[in-house]
Amino acid sequence: MDTLRFITCGSVDDGKSTLIGRLLYESKLVFEDQLEALK
Amino acid sequence: MGAVIFSELESESIEIIREVAATAINPVMLYSIGKDSSVMLRLAQKAFYPGSIPFPLMHIDTGWKFREMIGFRDRTAMQVGFKLIRYTNPRGVIEGIGPITHGSAYHTDVMKTEALKQALDLYKFDVAFGGARRDEEKSRAKERIFSFRAPGHRWEPKAQRPELWNLYNARINPGETIRVFPLSNWTEADIWQYIRQENIPIVPLYFAAKRLVVKRFGQWIMVDDDRLPLEPGETPEMRMVRFRTLGCYPLTAGIESSAVTLDEIVAETLGATTSERQGRVIDHDGAGSMERKKQEGYF
């Protein structure tokens, strides 16, 4: 398993955190209780 | 897989530990006896081998840790040969503060946060290592590796310094202190695989065994001594449980598990669908409660 390093650039509310969150979710790195806390 | 990632994580952590040893006036390593502390201790040994660790380790003892943790702590200090400082908030002892009589939030405020601040002031430590990881909890996710604390130990999330690549800025302004987190980039799975690879000793509570537990709010709480009052309808029973994280025993839930070897723990960790902090009662004291605790000086 290789380490992927990346950065996001953008203005306020452009969706940086949303994009990172989605990448974590799609790569199955978000636990159920963490997801539940966000809902 | 594995070996390459560990050598990267390991090198990064060792560099951080050496950077602090080279720049701090009076550093200390916070030792909480858990699996992350065990890894951090091993990394500190490696950072200065064959010399000994050039700073003390300090355990903030709330008086409510699992008994096995205290035994393990004292054995480890003897075997590894580091200087161990134990500190308990004297006010909490005098007032008899505990998680059952005073609630988890107040207990944690006094016996952990206030105690830590007292100890750092007492010994005049300027830098304190902590074993927190970014994957543990969301307010820890945005932490720098070198986390600056204003006078009074307050954490100002918006006043943190930029941290570019591995260039750490350890220059301390008057009144400031730093918390340094060498394990920031490790995950729970990394920790377990590294413990297996390095054969690092850990508290036996991490391995499944038949233990006396009681079901409370849907979670298994261990009856570790006679200070845990039973609610009406609660009956302690023997269950195969283990702990993913260790803290004060009335506030730390075990999980049902049959994992009795490191291989089985690694397999279970890699397949886990919930986070390890789910077993920590204090994380759920209220929205953003970890962020609030951190601002007040908690790790």
Q: Note the pLDDT of residue B284.
A: 63
Question: Which residues of chain B fall short of a pLDDT of 70?
Answer: 1-5, 282-288, 299
For chain A, give percent helix, strand, coil, nearest 5. Answer: 45, 0, 55
Comparing B144 with A31, the larger pLDDT belongs to: B144
Q: What are the C-alpha distances in Å from B264 to residues B38, B80, B188, B278?
A: 19, 27, 14, 20
Edge-to-edge order in the sheet of strand B127-129:
B84-87, B57-60, B27-30, B127-129, B177-180, B146-149
Calculate Rg over the CA atoms of chain A.
Answer: 12
B interface mutation test: which of A2, A4, A20, A33 has the most B CBs within 10 A?
A33
**Pairwise CA distance, residues B212 & B171, whole Å:** 49
Torsion of the alpha carbons at B40, B44, B46 and B50, rounded to the nearest 10: -150
Q: For B155, which DSSP code?
A: B
Question: What ipTM score was computed for the predicted complex, to two decimals?
Answer: 0.75
Q: Does B274 touch chain A (CB under 8 A)?
A: yes
Q: Would you mind telling me the total number of residues written for chain A in this entry?
A: 39
Option in A3, A31, A34 nearest B5 (CB): A3
Determine the Cα–Cα distance for residues B191 and B189; give it in Å rounded to an integer. Answer: 5
B275 and A3: CB-CB below 8 Å? Answer: no
Q: Token digits for A3? A: 């380490």
Tens of pLDDT, residue by residue over B177-223, are 999 999 999 998 899 999 999 999 999 999 999 999 999 988 999 99
Please state the rounded mean pLDDT for residues A15-31.
Answer: 89
Cis (ω within 30 of 0) for the bond into B50?
Answer: yes
Angle at B29 between CA B275 and CA B193, to 5 degrees: 40
Q: Which residues of A touch B166 (CB under 8 A)?
A: none
What's the DSSP call for residue B280?
A: B
